[in-house]
Amino acid sequence: MLDSGGGTLLDELAVNGSYCLNGEAFGKQAVTYMLVELPMHFLTQYADDFWYELRLKGVAPILAHPERYPELMAHTERLLKWCREGLLLQCNAGSFAGRFGESAQSAAKLLLRNHLVDFIGSDAHRAVGRDTDMRAGASVIREIAGEEEFKRISEENPMRVIHGEAIEVVKPEKLEREKKKGFWSRLSF
C-alpha cells in the first residue's frame, strides 16, 4: 500500500511521522496531518483502508483537490462517508476560478456550499505552469461562502495544522445540489 521503496508509507509513518505536514508532533498529544493525493482518474480499492490506517496511527488525512477527481465526484456518497469518518478536504483556489475546467469549478463550488472544504491551496507543485496567486479563487469563495468561512479555510484551519490542534467539523449526510432556476425566474423585470 503506497510503496515508498523500502516498505509501505504506513510502515515509515509508524516510525517517526515521516510525510506528515507537522511530523514533529507525531506520537505526542497533538494531531498530526497528512496531505494525500489519489490517482486522478480512478478510485483506488485500498483508499478506505488507507484512511482508516492513518487514523489508527493518529494521523488526520487531508485529501488534495477532491474536486478534480472525476470518478470521486461521480460517486460523492463515498466521499461523504470518508468525510464523516474524519477525512478533511483541501480544494484548489484555481478550481473556484475555473483554472482546471468547468467540471472542477462546479465540483469545488458544490463542496464549498455543503461545508466540505476545510482548506484551500494553490496546487503549485512546480515553478512553471502554475503559480501561488489565489486571489481569483479567494474572490469566488468569499462570494459563495462569505468572509468568515474564507478565513476559516485559509487561515484558522491551517494554523490548527501547524499547532497540531484538532479541526472539528460537522459533515452533511448528503450533498445539497444547487437548484436550477427555471426560465421565468431568470427573467428580470
Alpha-carbon gap, residue 24 to 32, rounded angstroms? 8
Q: Which domain holds residue 79?
A: 23-175
pLDDT at 187: 53
Q: Is residue 103 part of a domain?
A: yes
104 located within any domain: yes
Question: Rounded to two decimals, what is the model's pTM?
Answer: 0.83
**DSSP code of 177?**
P
Residue segments in the chain with a per-residue pLDDT below the cut of 70: 1-19, 22-29, 125-131, 178-189
Exposed e or buried b for every residue in 136-163, given b needs 16+ CB within 10 A? ebbebbbeebeeeebebbbeebbebbee
Characterize the bridge pairing of strands 59-64 and 119-121: unpaired
16 part of a folded domain: no
Q: Per the domain annotation, does 182 fall within a domain?
A: no
Which H or E run includes 107?
helix 102-113
pLDDT in tens, 79-126: 999 999 999 999 999 999 999 999 999 999 999 999 999 999 987 766
Q: Does a structural domain hold residue 80?
A: yes
* Confidence at residue 125, expressed as pLDDT on a 0 to 100 scale: 67
Indicate which CATH number applies to the domain containing 102: 3.20.20.140
Residue 50, Cα to own-chain centre: how many angstroms? 16
- Supply the pLDDT for residue 4: 42
Note whether residue 186 is domain-resident. Answer: no
- pLDDT number for residue 135: 86
Residue that the C-alpha cell 484512511 belongs to: 51
Check residue 46 and give its pLDDT: 81
Is residue 81 a contact partner of residue 72, using CB atoms and an 8 Å limit? no
Specify if 7 maps to a domain: no
Q: How many domains does the chain have?
A: 1
Neighbouring C-alpha atoms within 13 Å toward the C-beta of 108: 27
